[in-house]
Structure formats: C-alpha cells, structure tokens
Amino acid sequence: FKDNRPYPWPGDVSSFILNPESANQTIYTRSLTSSDHGVYTCQLANQTNIVKHSMKLVTFDVKSYWEDPLPTYEMANVHYAQPGELVRLYCEGFVGKVGLPDAVNTITWKKISEKQTIVSNDKYRIEEVIRENDQVLGAFLFINKIQETDYGQYMCSISNTDDQIVQQFTNITKPVFNYEQSDKKVQRDLKLIIFVMIALISIVWKRWWFYLTYQKLKKKFESDKYALSEKTIYNVIVFYDEANKENAQYLVENMEHRDNYITKKYHIDYDEDLIKTQTDLVKGFDFAVYLLSSDDKITSSLMKKSLQTSFVYNNATPKKFIICLCTLYVSQDCSNMPMTPTKSWCDRVLADLRSDEHTKQNKNASNKLMRVV
C-alpha cells in the first residue's frame, strides 16, 4: 500500500513496482521522482493474525546531504525467537554523500546489557549493505543458535559524522502463544460450523417432510374414495334387498379397508310398515345406507318427498347423516341439490358403484344408481 492505496499504482502516484526477480514483496524504482514520497505499507496476513510494516519515503531535491542520518528501515520494537533458532536483524539509514575526504559513514550493533560493539565471530555475523551510490548504509546482524543469554535489547547506530548519529532499538524475546485466544477462536469456528450444519439439516429435513406429507395426502386423496372431511370413526349400517346384495357386499368391503369406518350390512325385505318398525336398527350408527330396488312399488313410494321426510325426521333416531342410495330404472335429476360434505361423499360412492371395474364384478348391477338424502 502507498498512503493506504493498494498496489499497483499509476505513474502519477508512485513509480515503484514489484521486483519480478524477488521471491518476496520487494518494490523498487529505477528513477525516483518527487511523487514517490509517502508512506508505504507491507501487510502480511493469515487466518488468525495481520502484521503490518510501514515506512515513510522522503525525497530530497539536492545534490548533497549534510543533516543527521535518516532511518530508511524501521526495526520492530520486539523480535520473537525460540531457543536454538537463527536470528536476523536489519538496520538501515540514509546518510547522504558529502564530497569531503574525511567524511566517514559508519553503522554498528551493540547489546545494551554488554555495552560493547558486536563484531563478527562464531556467535555473531555482521553483513554491511551499501547502495544508492553510497547514500544508504545498512547492516544485518545474524545471531547463530540463540540461547538464554542472547535474549535482551539490541541497538543499531548509524553515523555520517562524529556527532550526527541516529539509533534504533529492538528487543529479542521468546514468543508467548495465546492458547486461550486460539481455543476461543476454534470454539467459535466450531460453533459456526455446527450451526450451519444444523440449519442445512433442518432445511433438508423440512423439505423432505413436506414432500412426504404431500405424497401421503396425495395418495390418500386418490385412494380414499369414501373419506369425509373430518378424521374420526364412523359406524355405518348398510340395508339392502336381494337385488342389491352384491352392491352392498362391494360397498362394505371397500369401506372396511378404511381406518375410519366400522360397517355392518343388513338384508331386509321392505314394506312401508316394516320400515317404520326397523328404525331401531339405525340407533348407534352415524350413517344408514339403503340400497333399494326401484321395481318395488313400496320402495319407490319412499322416494316421494313427503314419505321420505316422514321417514327421516319422524321415525329415525337423530344422527349426523342418514343416507339413502337407491337403484332406479328411471333417471332422476338431482343436480339442483346443494353440494354438502354428505352429498360429495355420496357422489364418490355412486361413482365407484357405477365404475366399469365394479360392473365387471357384479354383472347383475345393471340398474342406474341415484342418491337421495
């Protein structure tokens, strides 16, 4: 970054570019310009930490420099190292160039506790760096296999005359790992992963549950021809005459396959007086289904509104519904009757009894069926 602006930069911002021959993030310029001045920042990041290093570049429009040395590389205040590791420190400054024979630029390293200038030996190694036409002076300090006695504060001194000196300090110490913070992050990440997994499982489970419920309802709607709107247990009695014996058997068998029907069929020969005396048979049942033959004059007379009203309301014990299904040779129009749950139920029963499959099973059931409530 230059002044918080990410690389790459246009020419009017900075002439610096990444060095293609370098394996790190080294930037350089072949020709410094006044627009290159500013604060340059290098950022190193991983999943847990971010490390930033910033340096300020100041440009001078003079041929010679007589002032104090200016640090061109700012050392970190703390340098971490484990025992036995190789430690490398670097210090650098702009010293300028003065055309005097006695002008000498120097750079030295010291350990504060020992107060002696460090020289290269088996323990330490110093490598000087001179660049930019001898105007920049730097030095590496290598400490081989650092030990307990090597930890402490180190000082780098840069001078371009005897009385113009700039100093930088750094402290070499052991790293302290914050396991508690790391554990907290691991726990936080684990909780997030678990939450996402639970959310995904819940979504998949809900979609699957809705699908199964839909399929179950669809199957029930398609297969359950005799289902009413309320899920409960219904007691049904089926009265039939000899001509409708097979119709009654077919109806009872189908209803017995449903969980919410308890059926009973009753064969009876009808006459008007007998019907009036048989109403006690209907007691305890929610539905009474009557399969009657229309060629019976007495039975046909029951189709008359006055007699049927008397039969339903005067003689029968009150219940949810009383249904009469009659086989008639003569077609009757019931289209003007209101659509109720009972009528809808009856229509499905009649449609089933009229089906080709049932006709094949019961060749004698050639009479047309009509519902009368």
Could you tell me if residue 113 is left (phi over 0), alpha (psi between -120 and 50 degrees) or otherwise beta? alpha
Identify the pLDDT of residue 153: 95
Token pair in block for residue 106: 């120097």
Identify the pLDDT of residue 327: 44
User: Would you call 212 helix, strand, or coil by DSSP?
Assistant: helix
Identify the pLDDT of residue 249: 83
Identify the pLDDT of residue 260: 65
Identify the pLDDT of residue 322: 46
Instruction: Report the distance separating Cα 95 and Cα 107, nearest Å.
Output: 10
Q: At what angle do helices 245-256 and 341-353 cross, to 10 degrees?
A: 120
Instruction: Report the distance separating Cα 71 and Cα 92, nearest Å.
Output: 6
Q: What is the mean pLDDT of each run of 10 residues along the chain (373 residues)?
A: 92 89 84 90 90 86 78 90 95 83 87 90 94 90 94 94 88 79 79 92 90 81 57 74 79 72 66 56 72 56 41 40 44 48 61 58 41 36
Helices then strands, counting H and E runs in the chain, come out as 7, 18
Instruction: Report the distance separating Cα 372 and Cα 325, nearest Å.
Output: 6
Identify the pLDDT of residue 314: 39
DSSP letters for 286-318: SEEEEEEETT-HHHHHTTSHHHHHIIIIIISPP
Identify the pLDDT of residue 183: 73
